[in-house]
Amino acid sequence: MTEAADWLSAFPLQPAAEAVEALCQGWSELANRPLPDFNPKTKEPALTKRLKVYVENVVARERGLLGMWAAEDIIGDIDPATGAMIEERRTDIVYGWNDETQAMQLVFEFKRLGRQKKHRDHYLRDQGLGRFVNGIYSRKQAVAAMVGVLLDPEPDIVPHIRDALGDAALATLLRLKPTATGEPYARPSSLFTAADFDTDHEREPALAPSHGSIRVSHFFFAFGYPTTTVKRKL
């Protein structure tokens, strides 16, 4: 058995998949028609807070999920000598689950995405995917999720994100681990049917799980109606 198969066989995939399915269902139900406070013009933090509350209060209860949902969850480091915060971040949505032998915290990092390159860079670099590589997001976790909220048609956005991962400089910045065939991403996802692709990233030992890398699944959520009039602000 390979090292990758070892960690994957130990990962609690079923509860993670159930959380992903619940989040996808919640998005589909909220985004299928224009709502005054949940629409393409709604700012990212407001979208994620509303989505988390809806999933927790409605979808998760319907599905009988037992884990804990949080939005704007504070993570960071503290200096024990002074009590000062050294670093502080807030995750968009996190699903926590454990049983007698396993535990996970599945972080979902959201980014609003138009067709512009600046949006693509925001998704892929330090303020987006890079947080799972060099930042403190999902510390010691084997799996995480990036979620792009599409403000333009999917063909104008997602293929360009996949293509960008083939850039050598970006691959180095993101510490990408190529697939067995040398590709920068795996498509389809090996974890979740709703994901478009997965990327694997090496991490520093203080941030990495025991096998040394994190797998990030990439999801792209669309509104169920045209969004052509949206202002493309990050």
Instruction: List, for residues 55-95, the tens digit of each pLDDT value.
Output: 999 999 999 998 999 986 555 556 576 666 566 556 789 99
User: pLDDT tens across 1-57, in order?
Assistant: 345 558 888 899 999 999 999 999 999 999 999 999 999 999 999 999 999 999 999
Closest listed residue to residue 150, CA positions, set 23, 44, 22, 8: 44
Q: How far, in Å, CA of 158 to CA of 162, rounded? A: 6
Q: Among the listed ranges 55-59, 185-189, 229-233, which one has the minimum average pLDDT value?
A: 229-233
Q: How far, in Å, CA of 227 to CA of 93, rounded? A: 24
pLDDT at 100 (0 to 100):
87
pLDDT at 21 (0 to 100):
98
pLDDT at 158 (0 to 100):
98
% of the chain surpassing 70 pLDDT: 87
H helix runs in 82-215, sequence order:
117-124, 158-164, 168-173
Pairing, β 213-222 against β 176-177: unpaired
What is the C-alpha radius of gyration for the chain, rounded to an integer number of angstroms? 17
pLDDT at 2 (0 to 100):
46
* 118: its two tokens: 């600046």
Contact 107, 145 (CB under 8 A): yes
Averaged pLDDT for residues 155-160: 97
Q: How far, in Å, CA of 216 to CA of 191, rounded? A: 10
Identity of the amino acid at 170: L
The dihedral region occupied by 131, where left means phi > 0, alpha psi between -120 and 50, and beta the remainder, is alpha
**pTM reported for the whole predicted model:** 0.90
% of the chain surpassing 90 pLDDT: 76
> Exposed/middle/buried for 16, CB within 10 Å: 0-12, 13-18, 19+?
buried
Q: How far, in Å, CA of 179 to CA of 125, rounded? A: 20
Mean pLDDT for the chain? 90
Q: To which H or E segment does residue 63 belong? A: helix 60-63
Averaged pLDDT for residues 85-112: 85
Q: What's CA 56's distance to the chain center, in Å?
A: 18
Query: What is the side-by-side order of every strand in the sheet holding 85-98?
Result: 68-78, 85-98, 103-113, 143-150, 213-222, 197-202, 176-177
Q: What are the residues facing 146 on neighbouring strands? A: 109, 218
Count Cβ neighbours within 10 Å for each residue of 108-124 and write b for 16 or more, e otherwise: bbbbbbbebeebbebbb
pLDDT at 85 (0 to 100):
58
pLDDT at 1 (0 to 100):
31
pLDDT at 91 (0 to 100):
72
